[in-house]
A and B are shown apart, each in its own frame.
Chain A
Amino acid sequence: MAAENRHNSGRVRKIVLFCVFSLLVVVTVPLIPYAIDAYAVAGKQASVEKVAALENPAINLWNDVRQRNERTQGLTQVQGVDSGVLINKAGEDWRRFRVEQLVPYGAWFMGGILGAIVLYYLLKGTQMMPGGPTGVRIPRTTLNQRTAHWFTAGVFWLLAVTGLILLYGRFVLIPILGSEGFAVTASACKEMHNLFGPLFILAVVAMFVLFIKGNMYNLGDLKWFAKGGGMFGGHVSAGRFNAGEKTWFWLVIMFGSALCVSGLLLVLAALVPGREVLSLAHMFHGISAVLLIAVSFGHIYLGTVGVEGTLDSMTTGSVDAAWAKAHHDQWYAEMMNDSAAVEAADQEQGSGLVEGGVAKPGQAPGV
């Protein structure tokens, strides 16, 4: 049994190492053209400076057209937003931000977080329940909370995958699918992204309403942060939600809201006054999405392979007493000493069916 476990664990580590290597290749290869580009641009810059030293009588006009010194607007009979602007600088600024900052830094950030998680897993492995599962179950989430969680997760990942294809497809998918293949893929992804976007608004609202209780910070959370959430050893005391979970909740609400507002502005572009607003919306949308995707890697890791027994909370709605005692000792004590709270939580399960039975006061070992 132990030999088999060691064999399996060795296999998992090999697979994870392979994944890290593949990820590094996927993240690094698209960046090579940038390095070549940067080298070429440096060379061009020197020759442009030589030419710029010569006086050109039309240079002021061209500088005005390109909006190089200040924002100038010409006169025209055409009525509309930005109709007097010949070349909109905001569009170029946006393009440069997207291609030169959002795309490479976003890839490095997401890849870095993923790499750190994999490294942590290789070093520490799965955090097991101390003493193993007791079989005593404590109700933790209601059916509505779990439904909202998985609805949000499903919609979020559909939007994340389609969004990442739109952001990185040009660099990653064109070499594989060709230009035409990518055009079709991008069109499909854009339609899906725009269609599912408004569902994410509902999801964020539902998450806020159903999870706000217990997610307000308190002074005890400072200790949790100071000890790094017990990730590097030692026990950290926590209530129903620890400071890490609270932070994830507020990140989802804040960056989720930023994604919703900026996404709506981008979808309803015809109603938005000016390209600057759209550029800003795109910037917020991209940064919020990259941040939320990167942090979600950590959330998924801790909820699945990182900590034994955590996933139960969002699948069955109940957790093992040993898990509760190890990670949320204050909440565990609260539940053990308050039969009314246990019964109320049990009732909240909807059907009252909690797998493995419900913990009653004094039932759990070590109380």
Chain B
Amino acid sequence: MFEQLVDGILWDIALVIFFVGILWRIIDVLRRGTRRDLSVPRNSGVPGAIMANIRGFFPRREIAPRVRMKVIAGYMFHLGLLILLFFAAPHVKFIAEHITGFSWAAMPYWAFIVTAQVAFAGLILLWIHRLLHPVTRLISRRDDHVGAILVFLVMLTGCMALAEISSELRVFHRFTVELLMIYFPFSALMHAIMFVPSRAYSGATFGRRGVNL
């Protein structure tokens, strides 16, 4: 019963909410438009937008020593999760069967384990840092914690189902994925998509004023 629900109607609902929600959030941002800049443009906004996107991947030299742990943990988690999402053998098989119709080379089992460990270490460190650092603790909202816990649960249930000996564990993993898909568009997790336009907007705004971010 629960298996049918998770593999059937709940998956369809989650998929619709995920894509419609993301589209709605993007349209909402675009609809708000930009503030009119009355100053004389010193430069084109395009290089500023591109540079801000590239610069955002590296910490500023002045603060690099203080944010080293956060940057390293951030890369460990985000890259790890991305690799797991697109190159874990069960995911490749699932995407090919349910979405794309074609597949690509999946990573070997040992690589999956190492990547999962790196991603878990990064996520746990980031969450602990969020809770312990006085500034991040102050600016964190419930949404940030819910997002972190949901992603952790998705990864954990995925690893629990690794032996593929029972459908219960697979269904449990898929259920947590569906919860995450439903929660995603309405949360700060949207940064996974919005970080590019957000950086571009700031970079272009400052670029037009002759300031390099």
Contacts and interface: CB of A to CB of B under 8 A. Distances in A.
Interface string A186-223: 01101110111011001000000000000000000000
Contact of A147 (B69, B116, B156, B159): B69
A363 B66 CA distance: 30
B134 A147 contact: no
24 contacts: A143-B129, A143-B132, A144-B69, A147-B129, A150-B132, A154-B124, A154-B128, A183-B166, A184-B165, A184-B166, A184-B168, A187-B163, A187-B165, A187-B166, A191-B160, A191-B161, A192-B160, A194-B113, A195-B113, A195-B162, A196-B120, A315-B132, A317-B132, A351-B133
Contacts of A202: 121
Interface in B103-133: 113, 116-117, 120-121, 124-125, 128-129, 131-133
Contacts of B129: 143, 147
B168 A350 contact: no
Grouping DSSP codes into helix (H, G, I), strand (E, B) and loop, the B interface class, with mixed when no group exceeds half, is helix
A144 B117 CA distance: 20
A355 interface: yes
Contact of B125 (A151, A183, A187): A151
A353 interface: yes
A196 B119 CA distance: 11
Interface of B: 66, 69, 113, 116-117, 120-121, 124-125, 128-129, 131-135, 156, 159-163, 165-166, 168-169
A195 B169 contact: no
B34 to A, nearest CB: 33
Grouping DSSP codes into helix (H, G, I), strand (E, B) and loop, the A interface class, with mixed when no group exceeds half, is helix
B69 A192 contact: no
Nearest to A198: B117
A294 interface: no
Contacts of B135: 351, 353
Given A143-B129, A183-B165, A184-B165, 8 more contacts: A143-B132, A150-B132, A184-B168, A187-B165, A194-B113, A195-B113, A198-B117, A316-B134
Contact of B160 (A188, A199, A355): A188
Interface of A: 143-144, 146-147, 150-151, 154-155, 183-184, 187-188, 190-192, 194-196, 198-199, 202, 315-317, 350-351, 353, 355
Residue of A144, A155, A198 with most partner-chain B CB within 10 A: A198
Nearest to B172: A188
A144 B116 CA distance: 23
Given A184-B166, A187-B163, A195 B120 contact: yes
B165 to A, nearest CB: 5
Contact of B163 (A143, A151, A191): A191
A198 B117 CA distance: 8
Nearest to B120: A199
Residue of B66, B117, B132 with most partner-chain A CB within 10 A: B132
Nearest to B162: A191
A258 B189 CA distance: 40
A260 to B, nearest CB: 14
Q: Rank and list the top 5 A-B pairs by shortest CB-CB distance, nearest first.
A: A188-B160, A353-B134, A191-B162, A184-B166, A150-B128
Nearest to A154: B124
B33 to A, nearest CB: 36
A350 B121 contact: no
B165 A147 contact: no
Contact of B169 (A187, A194, A317, A351): A187
Nearest to B164: A187
Given A188-B161, A190-B163, A199-B121, A147 B128 contact: yes
